[in-house]
Amino acid sequence: MLSLGVLRFLLGLGESANWPAGSKAIAEWLPQERRGFAMGFFDAGSAVGAILAPPMVAALAILWGWRMAFVVTGLIGLLWLAAWLVIYRAPAEHPWLSEEERRIVVTGAATAPASPARRRWALGRIIGWRQLWGLMATRMIATPVWWFYVFWLPDYLGSYRGFSLKEIGMFGWIPFFTVDLGKLSGGACSDFLLRCGFSPTLARKGVMTLGALAMTSGTQVAGAASAAGALAWVCLATFGFGIWSANILALHADIFPSETMATAVGLTGMAASLGGALFSFATGAVVDRYSYAPAFWAAGLAPLAACAALFFWVGRVGRRHAT
């Protein structure tokens, strides 16, 4: 147990760089009106992995033992790292671009490489920004909704809806599929509105509001008449979270300059993880004492509070410049 806990902690440390690095890469390579879909596509990979991993890990464990399941999944991460190191460079440095292509990318993304002196103090320059704290609050409130469904849905389906382990395996992947649909469609929708001339504030926040309203369907899960109905409400909620998630990441690229982008995503991601841990702990206490109904109501109403933070704390969406 101790070694598993230590190694899981190290896995979390390594995984934490994924979203800041990926979000910054998209901000450096793509113009504003294409970032929403790109963020959704990038973010959707985590849910695709959650769909593919259970059958793959189960097959590895059955064929070659549980140790090999750990070894193979670990090696897949190293293969990805090798590909990233070979392929990825910032636009200003990438050898595969012609000078004309480089000019188009750098101009379209509206990002210029920062000097090393400016890069060193990214945290100090944005820590006082209202938008940073607003996004931290928004993610701390809204992201736990997703982790609630990830961690607690299998137990709910088994304990309260009578699903067998086989049935959980047969149907438990569907919310992950719908969250991916939400991420792709939510990002594409806000990008479309930007190309039509809408302001970033209206395009991003308007689409995110639709996602938040879809997430309120969590309030209907516990009272659904059938297991199929409960799962349908869950799928609508995760679809809404996908819409929200793609655009909350795109907001970072809309607000923060390139040299502070990864720091900002890391800070708001930290807030999201803390919120998820607290919500999961509270869910366990509530379910043990009462039932899942209060937890689903909390998951359904939390997005409305996140929306309030988005509108009144984050404020107008626009690029700020670190000083």
CA distance 314 to 308: 9
Say if residues 306 and 298 touch (Cβ distance below 8 Å): no
Tell me the three state secondary structure of residue 41. Answer: helix
| pLDDT score at 118 | 53
Half-sphere exposure of 179 (CA within 13 A, CB side): 28
Question: Does residue 1 belong to any structural domain of this protein?
Answer: no
Query: Do 323 and 125 form a contact (C-beta atoms < 8 A)?
Result: yes
For helices 130-159 and 227-255, give the axis angle rounded to 10 degrees.
Answer: 160
Instruction: Judge contact between 123 and 20, C-beta under 8 A.
Output: no
In-domain check, residue 10: no
Percent of the chain predicted with pLDDT > 90: 42
What type of residue sits at position 87? I
pTM as predicted: 0.82
- Measured between alpha carbons, how far is 70 from 73 in angstroms, rounded to an integer? 5
Task: Say if 81 falls within a structural domain.
Answer: yes
pLDDT value of residue 112: 47
> Is residue 137, in this structure, part of any structural domain at all?
yes
Which of the 8 DSSP states describes residue 256? S
**268 belongs to a structural domain:** yes
**Which parts of the chain sit beneath pLDDT 70?**
108-121, 319-323
Q: Does some domain include residue 11? A: no
pLDDT for res 168: 82
Kindly state whether residue 319 falls inside one of the protein's structural domains: no
The residue segments making up the domain with residue 299 are 16-111+123-314
What is the rounded CA–CA span in Å between residue 250 and residue 184?
12
Domain count, the chain: 1
Measure the CA–CA gap between 275 and 248, rounded to whole angstroms: 16
Using the structure block, give the residue that is written with the tokens 């973010």.
43
Q: What CATH number does residue 43 fall under?
A: 1.20.1250.20
Helix (H, G, I), strand (E, B) or coil at 45: helix
pLDDT at residue number 108: 67
At 152-173, the pLDDT tens digits run 998 999 888 988 877 887 888 8
For residues 40 and 183, is the Cβ–Cβ distance under 8 A?
yes
SS3 label, residue 235: helix
Residue 2 lies in a domain: no
> DSSP string spanning 82-100?
HHHHHH---TTT-TTS-HH
Which residues have a Cβ under 8 Å from the Cβ of 304 and sit 6 or more positions away? 212, 216
